[in-house]
Each structure stands twice: as C-alpha cells, then as structure tokens.
Amino acid sequence: MSIVKPYELDRNKFLLDNKRVALIHGSNISRISATGKKIAGLVCDDLDDPLNTLEIGQKQLMDNPGILLDEGQAISMFGGRKIIWIKENAASLLKQLKLFLQLDSVEAFVIIETGQLTKTSPLKKLCEKSQNSISIACYDYTRAEIMAIIQSQISKNNLTISNENLQYLIETTGSDELHIEAEINKLVAYCSQTGEITAKDIEVLCSDPETSSINQICDQLFTRTAKQGLTGFRHAVSTGIPASQILSRIAAHIATLQKIHAAARRNNSLDAAMKSIRPPIFYKRQSSFKNQLNIWSPNQLASAARTVQTAIEKARNNSAIELEICERALLSLSAAARQSR
C-alpha cells in the first residue's frame, strides 16, 4: 500500500524515492495546497523556473488523450525533474494515469490535487495500490499535529515557550499550515533577543481571521444570539471555509464546555473551573463562556455533541450536500439554545 500521512513527508525523505505520482485529496483545501507545494519542492530543484512546472487542466486532458504520456516522457531542456500539476479530477485522467504508471521510465513527477474521494474511488484505489505512486489524505489538522508543527519551528530557532502559552498560540493561529508558519516567523523575528515567547507577544503579533470568525460563530450559537451565528456561518462558508471544518470546530467547542462543566462540579466553582481548563480560554471570551455554561446544561451539551457528530459523519459521506447537512445541524443547535434554561 502507498498511503502516506502528510506529516510523514517531513520525517522520511525517502518516501518519494522511485515514485512518479502523488495523489493529494481530502477536505482541507489549504493543507492539500501546502502538501502539493512541499512535494514539488522535494522533487524539483528549481520551482522558480517556469520550464520546470506544467499545469494540465481538465479541458487539455479531454482534448488531448495522450498529453500526460507525452509531457511525462519529455526530457527537460536543462535537465532535472519536471513537475506536472493536475488540479482537476477529469474523467479522462484515470486512463492516462494508468498508462503513465506502467511506463518503463518517465522524466516528470505528477502531482494531482483534488477534493474528497470515496473509499471506492478508482483514482484513489489506483494510486494506493501502485508501487509508483503515493496517496495522501488531507483533512483538518489535529491539535497534536498543530502542536508538533509549532514546537518544531520554535525549537529550530532556539526559542522557548511555556506550555500554557503554547496552548494559547495554538488557539490563536488556527489550522492553516501556511498561516501558522507565517505567524511563527513573526514571533521568531520579534522574540530573537529575549529568547522566549510570552502571552503578550502572541497577543500583539498573532491573529487569524478564520479562527476569530469561527470562534465568534461558536459563541453566538451557544448564547441566545444563535441567529447571528447562522449568518456568520453562511458568510464564513462564502469566503471559502469548508462547512465541515466549521462543524468540527463547533464539536471541539462543545467538548470544551463539557470539560468546564465537569471541572465546575469537581471544584464546586465555575470560576475555578475556568481557570483550570487547558488550553486556557482567551480572556476576551471568558464572559461569553460563562454565559454559555449558564445556558447549557451537561445533558443539553451531550445532545448537541451527538447532533454535531452525526452531521460531521453524514457530511463526510455526502460531500455534494455538505452545506445543507451542516446548516440543518446548526438550526437544531439554534432551536436548542432558545429552549435552554
């Protein structure tokens, strides 16, 4: 099997040896793009040279059934390996790709970027089974993956950060790898003299419009301003944030509320629970969290969690109606918020 995790590209430089195709698919568009660029940089010596890269579109694949074979075997004018980029899953791609993978030798490396593929997708099955290709699924980063990316960058630049501030930084930067890298670069330049990243540094330098937008949606949905939350959700989707990604963040928000409720029962104090929670709640959101905890009981949150998790699973299996599935789940949360204590 030739299935690779995105982070494995950093750990094993030999993963691309003897490969000629990388299929990158999933729901996280920015991660797909970042992974494609990373692979291209590992394979090609000079991506700035326009002669080293070629993008083939759906129309070209359909109009010229032999284009992939011709370009894949064409010797680069100045030597080195050329990158062929395909960013559309055209109907004619599968047949050409099968032939390309069977060639005795090729001069190019093909990177295919596409959206979510089903388990039975012929394209996915082909790239997973072939010894000449790899298949990489790109979904939303887990918190552990984001932490690993940040820690690696901080350590590489000989900086230190407390665990509490690391959690705060993760909360602030969001899940876009390119954005995380840009924010870390700012912190590295700013904190190089002191050698330590503080909460104040993070607050001054780091901001993620996507994270701020989703946080606001969460806070509105779980207070009695759920109507604004629904409006915010539709606006966020219109800017390109996947609906399922927002729903996943809402699920994480519910889990945080549940953790605080459990801590409050143990400590017999909501304030103590708020202070003990990790990662810490950003101070500007703390009053909203208290309001939400007073509105939603543990049982109601458990019901909300089931609603959201069911919607996430349905959306993954029915990408064509992902938006409608997510909207129905949020309407259900909105109705529950109005009826809460």
Measured CA to CA, the distance from residue 44 to residue 176 in angstroms comes to 24
Measured CA to CA, the distance from residue 188 to residue 182 in angstroms comes to 10
Query: How far, CA to CA in Å, does 297 sit from each of 74, 215, 337?
Result: 65, 20, 11
Q: What's the confidence (pLDDT) of residue 91?
A: 64
Q: What's the confidence (pLDDT) of residue 110?
A: 94
Domain boundaries 3-138, CATH class: alpha beta
Measured CA to CA, the distance from residue 279 to residue 163 in angstroms comes to 9
Q: What is the DSSP letter of 194?
A: T
Q: Per residue of the chain (341 residues), what is the pLDDT tens digit?
A: 588 888 788 767 678 888 999 999 998 887 888 899 989 988 887 777 777 888 898 888 888 888 998 888 887 766 678 899 998 766 678 889 999 999 988 889 999 999 888 889 999 999 999 999 999 999 877 778 888 888 888 988 899 998 888 888 887 776 677 778 888 889 999 998 899 999 888 877 886 666 778 888 899 889 878 788 888 898 888 888 888 888 888 998 999 999 999 988 887 888 888 887 776 777 778 889 999 998 898 999 999 999 998 998 888 778 788 889 999 998 888 888 777 65
- Residue identified by tokens 């939603």 is 296
> Domain 209-339, what architecture?
Up-down Bundle (1.20)
Q: Residue 42 is which amino acid?
A: L
Measured CA to CA, the distance from residue 192 to residue 199 in angstroms comes to 15
- Residue identified by tokens 């889990």 is 255
Q: Are 126 and 12 in contact (CB under 8 A)?
A: no
Measured CA to CA, the distance from residue 89 to residue 143 in angstroms comes to 30
Query: How far, CA to CA in Å, does 323 sit from each of 83, 319, 320, 330, 338?
Result: 34, 8, 8, 11, 23
Q: CATH for 143-205?
A: 1.10.8
Domain ranges of the chain: 3-138, 143-205, 209-339
Question: What SS3 state is found at 108?
Answer: strand
